[in-house]
Amino acid sequence: MVNAHARSAELELLHPTFRRAVTAVLAQLGAEKIPFRVFEAYRYPERQADLYAQGRTTPGAKVTNALPWSSYHQYGLGVDFVLYVDNKWSWDDSGARRAWWDRLQALGGANGLEALSFEKPHLQLAGTSTAALLAGNYPPDGDDTWAENLDAVIMGWRGQTPAPKRPKVPQRPAVA
């Protein structure tokens, strides 16, 4: 049972082009003994709505400006990398660790990913835009898992923010 309000670090719902790039970045970081892990990968629009509400209509400080479907996470095209040190997540960028974050960004760029300004943990697929995604112009070569999940999420979305156009989903032969 999927919990659309929970954080997930699973890579299986990412677009395959993006997943390959993320995997390559992780491998290169590992080879250099830089202890990053994927903190969050696919994010359902329900969770994005929860995050957006915080500090606006629910208690706490504001944590994001991204509405549901404005984040690449909802398309399987964005991930957050965070340091994992001594069994804890760490956003520390002081001293020598600053170079680790810089290296993450550099490896992302070398693998076809892009960073958002001033957001070191977040990397997303380069070469598209939120407007293109909302219009249903998705990166080519999406696999069945990615397309079927995105289509199901779009069809199940009940939030106020308009959902994007549906991706092309592979046709299944009718069950006899």
Residue type, 142: G
Residues 69-98, interacting with other proteins (CB under 8 A): 70-71, 73, 78, 80, 82, 89, 91, 93
User: CB of 60 within 8 A of CB of 14?
Assistant: no
Cβ–Cβ < 8 Å for 133, 54:
no
Which of 87, 82, 96 shows the shortest CA–CA distance to 36? 82
Which residue, 121 or 139, is less far from other proteins as judged by CB?
A: 121
Distance of alpha carbon 52 from alpha carbon 66, whole angstroms:
7
Smallest separation (angstroms) from other proteins to the CB of 175: 41
To which H or E segment does residue 149 belong? Answer: helix 144-156
**Is the CB of 63 or the CB of 152 nearer to other proteins?**
63
Element (H, E) at 43: none
Q: If you ran DSSP here, which 8-state letter would residue 58 be given?
A: B
Phi/psi for 78 (5° steps) reads: -140, 145
User: Should residue 100 be labelled a site residue for other proteins when binding is judged by CB under 8 A?
Assistant: no
Question: Near other proteins by CB under 8 A, which window of 13-21, 23-31, 111-119, 149-157?
Answer: 111-119
Q: Which two tokens stand for residue 132?
A: 């293109």
Instruction: Kindly state the tokens that stand for 134.
Output: 């909302």
The residue from 117, 158, 173, 176 that contacts other proteins (CB under 8 A) is: 117
Residue 146 C-beta: closest distance to other proteins, Å? 20
The region of 119-127, 136-144, 150-158, 165-173 touching other proteins under the rule CB under 8 A is 119-127
Please give the residues from 2 up to 61 whose contact with other proteins meets the rule CB under 8 A.
Answer: 39-40, 51, 54, 60-61
Residue 65 touching other proteins (CB under 8 A): yes
* Residues of the shown chain interacting with other proteins in the complex, contacts defined by CB under 8 A: 39-40, 51, 54, 60-66, 70-71, 73, 78, 80, 82, 89, 91, 93, 101, 116-122
